[in-house]
Amino acid sequence: MPIRINLLAEAQAAEDLRRRDPVKRAVWIGGFFVAVVLLWCGKLQIDIWSEGMTRTRLERDWALKEPKYKVLVASVEKADRLNALVAGLDRYSTNRFLWANPLDAIQHSTIDDIQVTRFRGEQSFEMVNPENSTNTTPNGPVVTHKPGVATEKIRVVVEARDFNNQNQTWTKYKEVLASSPYFKRHLKRGEGFVLDGTQSAPMRDPYDPLHEYVSFSLVSRLPEVKRYE
């Protein structure tokens, strides 16, 4: 049997070992990933450039529309203020205090030996202006609006003469006033008319000198009414 000798076996083994070199394989793999990263960075740059162009276009469009927007916002705010004023006037016109009602109640609350000489109504308003307060929170400043309020106070004073002071008829008249339907509906329970100051000294009736009377005043305060802006 003939013996074959491969004189190139050593060179072939060296070539095969060179082809299987792990360093060379790693270099190829690393180069591939570097190329992928470069392509991804290039795409990002293109996207950034495209978004920058879009942002520039939007800013240019906004610069053209901003003046009209500011005019529109100012008009809306003015309309809101006018609507609030109209609503407030409407509430006031529909809920305002009418003096004809207490006058009618006093007119129908009569009693013998009591002569009403004067009726006085006092109406006042205490105004509290609206306020804006700014509080700092973790999410930033928060503005709190406190609406304005007008407090309406009504005071009713009835001045009269008691021609039967010995029996203190004025106390009965006070009860008659408090029990009238109007005052009974508007005054709180236990709050009626009270004597304002003291009675006067007995005086002669100029039209009938045989009779004496004392003057007195009864006062009552209706519940306060608060009206908000």
Mean pLDDT of 66-87: 87
Q: Is 49 exposed, middle or buried (0-12, 13-18, 19+ CB in 10 A)?
A: exposed
Residues 174 and 76 in one domain: no
- pLDDT tens-place string over residues 94-137: 677 888 888 999 998 889 989 999 999 998 888 888 877 777 77
Residues 73 and 134 in one domain: no
What pLDDT, on a 0 to 100 scale, did the predictor assign at position 199?
Answer: 85
Residues 81 and 120 in one domain: no
Residues 26 and 51 in one domain: yes
Is the pLDDT at 23 greater than 80? The verdict is: no
Residues 87 and 121 in one domain: no
Alpha carbon distances (Å) from 185 to 84, 92, 102, 139, 178: 31, 21, 11, 50, 9
Residues 87 and 110 in one domain: no
Residues 208 and 124 in one domain: yes
From 50, 78, 96, give the residue that closes a domain: 96
What pLDDT, on a 0 to 100 scale, did the predictor assign at position 198?
Answer: 83
Q: Minimal CA–CA distance to 152: which of 224, 203, 65?
A: 224
E-assigned strand segments in 129-229: 131-137, 140-146, 149-162, 194-195, 203-205, 208-228
What pLDDT, on a 0 to 100 scale, did the predictor assign at position 24?
Answer: 65
- pLDDT tens-place string over residues 32-60: 788 888 888 888 888 888 888 888 888 88
Residue type, 17: L
From 53, 77, 96, give the residue that closes a domain: 96
What pLDDT, on a 0 to 100 scale, did the predictor assign at position 162?
Answer: 92
Domain tally for the chain?
Answer: 2
Task: Report the relative pairing of strands 149-162 and 114-128 from DSSP bridges.
Answer: antiparallel
Q: Pick from 2-6, 154-158, 185-189 the range whose average pLDDT is largest.
A: 154-158
Average the pLDDT over each of 45-59, 75-89, 108-122, 149-163 and give the range with the smallest value. Answer: 75-89
Residue 62 is given by DSSP the state H
- pLDDT tens-place string over residues 213-229: 999 999 998 888 887 76
Residue 123, domain extent: 100-228
Residues 163 and 193 in one domain: yes
Residues 50 and 151 in one domain: no
Mean pLDDT of 69-76: 89
From 78, 96, 114, give the residue that closes a domain: 96
Residues 71 and 83 in one domain: yes
Say if CB 147 and CB 128 are below 8 A apart: no
Residues 71 and 124 in one domain: no
Between CA 222 and CA 184 the distance in angstroms is: 11
The answer as to whether 3 is a domain residue is no
pTM over 0.75: no
Residues 130 and 90 in one domain: no
What pLDDT, on a 0 to 100 scale, did the predictor assign at position 160?
Answer: 92
The answer as to whether 187 is a domain residue is yes
The answer as to whether 126 is a domain residue is yes
